[in-house]
Amino acid sequence: MERVNVLIAGGGVIGTTLAHELAKRGVNDIHVIDLDLGGLYASSELNAGGARATWWQPINIETCRITLDFFRAHRELFGFRETGYLWLYADPDRFAVACEKRTLQEAAGITVELLRRDEITRRFPILDRNLEELVGATWSPRDGLVNPNAVRAYHRREAEKLGVRFSDRHFIDGVETARIDGRSGLRRVRGVDVIEVAGGDPTDTSGILREILTTHRVPTGRRARETRISCDVVVNCLGAWSSIFSSKIGLRDVTEAVRRQIALVDVRPADLVPGVDLDRLGMIVDSSDLYFHPEAGHFLAGYSIPDEVPGFDFSYDGNAYFEEFVWPRLAHRCSSFERCGHLRGWSGLYAVTPDRSGIAGPVPGIANLLEAHSLTGRGVMQSFGIATVLAERITTGHYGACDLGPLGRERFESPDRWLPEVLHI
């Protein structure tokens, strides 16, 4: 049996950042385990790179603000571009709420401008079609785009310098808990059963990683070594797979894994309307819920299919997805995309909660178990804020920069405590 001080399940951007922050605070013997440390299927590696603090719930605004301040301070390291977010509204009621939330956002130090319809084309000439549908827009110039891979790589590199151990191709097969107090029913995690998976290359040509990530079991022939790890503190940072971990200790999790697809779109320079400066163009979210931004001479564009069935699905629908969901919405708003082409695309998983806000903090009833997951597409943009505050909670017993209490899982016991976020894409 191995023994560690802190075991972090999940080496995505949240788990890796948390490990780094704990090590910076002097915590020793931290072990991060993950089946896919290379990030081939990691949600934080497969997103569009958006980073914004323009949300509607105070805790989401604050943790994103903390993270974006960190990105700005290391902009060259993370490829952070302060190109802004433009959000277009066609629904008067929804725009009215956005105007109300602007007060909350600006009180937190987030600059948000309200744009009239006639200002939209003047400031963003790429938007030149069907603007009569719109009632207005919000523009947050200090939001932007970041390289998620660079963010996670930085925190892992720095964490390893401080002695944090990362184990790839490791799968949690079981979790043992024991009662501390028979009268209160309080438990603690005694040990975690971990399987080291044999084989599997960085590109997963054998398909073994994908098989395990979708079936949640390791085939008998792939079990290289099985180990019991005893730990003082356990943190569930497994994202879309967090509910699989929770089920092993009898916890009901509200998180669902939902596929999100992104297409890489090719536009000829000659087709761009005059006045479009791609270097200054940031993320645009259309009233149709399509989002797009320039990326390495092309455009990234995504649309979340409303009736997407939850599940661990990594398939990409290819040109069919582009032609049905992406191109019509692009061409409807921008003449520049009238003759655009589909290059390629990919899919990743959102960990979605009923109110579209994440889950973070101590797990009630289990003394040494904490969690940080299910951020519904905000993992990268909340990573530093969530990790620093949770690290404070683990090392001092209380929250510092902000209180993650509202993100506790117990809120789902009462709908009036939910934290609904509408502006997720």
- In the chain, DSSP finds a helix count (H) and a strand count (E) of 11, 18
Residues 6+ away with beta carbon under 8 Å from 413: none
The DSSP H or E segment spanning 149 is: helix 148-161
* Residue 215, both tokens: 């079936």
Decide which of 3.40.630.30, 2.130.10.10, 3.30.9.10, 1.10.3720.10 is the CATH code for 85-141+258-352.
3.30.9.10
Domain with CATH 3.30.9.10 in the chain: 85-141+258-352
* Residue found under tokens 């949240």: 14
Supply the pLDDT for residue 182: 67
Count Cβ neighbours within 10 Å for each residue of 139-168 and write b for 16 or more, e otherwise.
Answer: bbebbbbbbbbbbbbbbbebbbebebebbb
Tell me the β-bridge partners of 223. 197
Model-level pTM? Answer: 0.96
pLDDT at position 146:
97
Give the H/E segment covering residue 189: strand 187-197
Do 261 and 276 touch, CB atoms closer than 8 A? no
Q: What is the 3-state secondary structure (H, E, C) of 6-51?
A: EEEECCCHHHHHHHHHHHHCCCCCEEEECCCCCCCCCHHHCCCCEE
pLDDT of residue 279: 87
Residue 39, number of CB atoms within 10 A of its CB: 20
pLDDT at position 200: 72
Residue 181's pLDDT is what?
75
Round to whole Å and give the CA distance between 165 and 30.
6
Are 204 and 210 spatial neighbours (Cβ–Cβ below 8 Å)?
Answer: yes
Residues of the chain with CATH 3.50.50.60: 2-46+149-255+354-417
Q: ∠ CA 293-299-301 to the nearest 5 degrees?
A: 70
CATH architecture for the domain at 2-46+149-255+354-417: 3-Layer(bba) Sandwich (3.50)
Distance CA 136, CA 117 (A): 5
Spatial CB neighbours of 405, under 8 Å, sequence gap ≥ 6: 361, 399
- 320 to 88, 153, 283: CA distances (angstroms): 26, 34, 24
> What distances in angstroms separate CA 326 from CA 145, 259, 313, one per listed residue?
20, 16, 20
The pLDDT value recorded for residue 183 is 66
Radius of gyration, alpha carbons of the chain: 22
Residue by residue, pLDDT tens for the chain (425 residues) are: 899 999 999 999 999 999 999 999 999 999 999 999 999 999 988 988 999 999 999 999 999 999 999 999 999 999 999 999 999 999 999 999 999 999 999 999 999 999 999 999 999 999 999 999 999 999 999 999 999 999 999 999 999 999 999 999 999 999 999 998 766 789 999 999 999 999 877 789 889 999 999 999 999 999 999 999 999 999 999 999 999 999 999 998 999 999 999 999 999 999 999 999 898 899 999 999 999 999 988 999 999 999 999 999 999 999 999 999 999 999 999 999 999 999 999 999 999 999 999 999 999 999 999 999 999 999 999 999 999 999 999 999 999 989 999 999 999 999 999 999 988 88
Strand partners, 235: 8, 370
Question: For 250, phi and psi rounded to 5 degrees?
Answer: 80, 20
Specify the DSSP class assigned to residue 158.
H
Q: How far apart are CA 289 and CA 303, in angstroms?
A: 6
